[in-house]
Amino acid sequence: MQAFLKGATIQTSRPQKDKVTAGPSGEKKAKAVPWVEKYRPKCVDEVAFQDEVVTVLKKSLEGADLPNLLFYGPPGTGKTSTILAAARELYGPELYRQRVLELNASDERGIQVIREKVKNFAQLTVAGTHPNGKPCPPFKIIILDEADSMTAPAQAALRRTMEKESRSTRFCLICNYISRIIEPLTSRCSKFRFKPLASQIQEERLLEICDKEKLNIAALVQLSEGDLRKAITFLQSAARLNADKEITDQAIIEIAGNMVNEGYAATQILSQLHDCILEKDITDEQKSAIFEKMAVVGKCLADGADEYLQMLSLCSVIMQQAGQS
């Protein structure tokens, strides 16, 4: 974190394979894509260290059918990536958006969401063929991420929807704690536990990403504690803060640290970030967007808002603008 406060560079000169978008002048700019999305498995075979789940899903895909699923286990072990990869294989890019509804139940966890979004989508009927005439599974998939955050009434309403729409809809519930899912739901799903990723598996995946991004690091596995998503996020953060330098163990440890635990005052961070960004070689439009967000954050801090959340919000805007360089 000290490196960032002292003026780490915002721009990166590494070649990126991210998507590009056209700017106002017609020039193409790289679109900032989180590496956890950029390197998310595109097919079931790419899912790491979850052999049991992969085997069952591959057999289900061969028969073009799926049971209701319940994936549980620690964060960052591939639960969401696995069902998304299976859905892409099942429907292809043409029908994926029409046939798959993904909701984060921690944000939308009340009974009203089940009655409206989930029920309405589940009641839609779909054809058993692709637009090109090839056969296609005659059902949709509803993915409820962080389902253990749903209220008990919402889970009860979901049970009834699962029963009524069993012919046209398959459900995939994803959670960290299976004990928070009511028994009538768990009994209607095939349950799969996702294990924390072994160190060797993490190293292989991270080395693959490092090779593609032309990076060289060594300290991620221990800090990520079996969470591959966290490891990839740390890797991307270190790459952005050390744009033209080798990424060392110390840089990774610094990125993985907690600003709150280190005792930095949010107002001090805000002031130093302002001075740092003012001197950076980025466009006036980028500076304007960042400073506008800083003003909002400063007002929120003065009103007593949570420092940690405000810093996260500001950093997300800085990262977004940095990715457009």
C-alpha distances in Å from residue 211, one per residue of 59, 92, 216: 32, 29, 8
Residue 228 half-sphere exposure toward CB, CA atoms < 13 A: 31
Among 3.40.50.620, 3.40.50.300, 1.20.120.80, 3.90.230.10, what is the CATH number of 50-193?
3.40.50.300
Task: Tell me the pLDDT tens digit for each residue of 265-290.
Answer: 778 788 878 888 888 888 888 888 88
Sequence ranges of the domains in the chain: 50-193
Residue 295 predicted with pLDDT over 50: yes
Task: Tell me the pLDDT tens digit for each residue of 91-142.
Answer: 887 788 888 888 876 666 667 777 777 778 887 777 766 666 677 777 888 8
Beta-bridged to residue 71, according to DSSP, are 174, 192
First-to-last alpha carbon distance for the chain, in angstroms, is 22
pLDDT confidence of residue 11 = 38
SS3 296: helix
pLDDT confidence of residue 173 = 92
